[in-house]
Amino acid sequence: MKRPDFPLTPSSPERRPADVTSLSSRREDAESTRPKRAKESPQKSRPARKAEKQSPTRKTRETGVARRQREEAADARMALREAKKARKAFERNEVRRFTARVRRRRQAWAAALVSLLAVGVFVVVGVFSPVMRVQTITVTGTTRVDPAAISGQLTDQIGQPLPLVDIGRIEEVLRRQTLIESYSIESRPPNGLILHVVERQPIVYIPVGTKFELIDAAGVTIESRPENPGDYPLIRVPKDEAKGVAYASAIEVLQSLPADLRSRISEISASTADDVTYVFGDTGQRVFWGSSDDAALKVRALSGLLANWPPGTANEYDVSSKDNVVVR
């Protein structure tokens, strides 16, 4: 039975094939105007997957962070240790600098203590050791003095400890020897004692009765001879000036002359300290010297006079005034 050809509803228009065609074309047009998604090919997705495999995972990232933290902590600990070492070194230097004075004081005290102990040991050994006791007494520098006469008076010092020798006793014995001008005492370890003596030397002579006495610069009689000692000059001074200023002035003049002039003098005299006169024994010429002042100037003046007025042309030379010399 055929359906009747009438519209389904009175209001709906009749659909035509042309309308169906237009709808489909519209859909196609709309689809053509829409942006098409790029189709992902399997070849393009592979690199993404590879990159995704190469990127660190969360666990890997955490491991790297922990390692860096450990390294930083180790560096911090090392820096802390270095800082502690530097601080300790600085503190040691500061302590050493501030305690240098104390150390020097301690060293000085230690050196003094060691020296004191050494001296103490030396004294103990010198006093109590038999090796350091006097066994020999030697006298040197004597020609007129008998050394045995000196050492014979010091037998009480034999056996004494060398540091405890009685120096006063030795000096007393030496001072009794009038021919000794000076002396020195030397201790020579381990058991020797040496007395160095300088004897008095005669410089002039004076007649005493029938004899002639050799005397030194201090007026001490060194020797008495029966004959005239021609190798020394005769000195003439007043009796009360035998050891006074006149004698001292004459001796000072004699000692100030050069050896070539002094050896020619046969006689020297002085009544006061300002009128010293001497005579050359080989020519008999007399020199009026005056006082002992300005000896160097007078020696030069006399040398000039002797050169210009040799023996036979002058008998007297007066240089008592350095500014006005006289030849007669």
Domain 130-199 identical in fold to domain 233-327:
no
pTM greater than 0.75: no
What does the alpha-carbon distance between residue 224 and residue 201 come to, in Å, rounded to a whole number? 13
pLDDT, tens digit, 9 for 90 and up, residues 21-62: 454 555 555 555 555 554 444 444 455 444 444 455 666 777
Angle subtended at Cα 288 by Cα 285 and Cα 294, rounded to the nearest 5 degrees: 125
pLDDT value, residue 250 = 95
Please, what is the average pLDDT of the chain? Answer: 83
In angstroms, the first-to-last Cα distance of the chain is: 211
Of 114-123, 198-207, 251-260, the range with the lowest mean pLDDT is 114-123
What does the alpha-carbon distance between residue 319 and residue 296 come to, in Å, rounded to a whole number? 11
Of 6-20, 132-146, 253-267, 307-321, the range with the lowest mean pLDDT is 6-20
User: What residue ranges do the domains of the chain occupy?
Assistant: 73-128, 130-199, 233-327
- CATH class, range 233-327: alpha beta
Mean pLDDT, residues 228-242 taken together: 85
pLDDT, tens digit, 9 for 90 and up, residues 55-100: 556 667 778 788 888 888 888 889 988 998 888 888 888 877 777 7
Q: Kindly tell me the number of DSSP H helices and DSSP E strands found in the chain.
A: 9, 12
> With 50 as the cut, is the pLDDT of residue 2 above it?
no
Q: Which CATH superfamily is domain 130-199 in?
A: membrane protein fhac (3.10.20.310)
What does the alpha-carbon distance between residue 272 and residue 248 come to, in Å, rounded to a whole number? 10
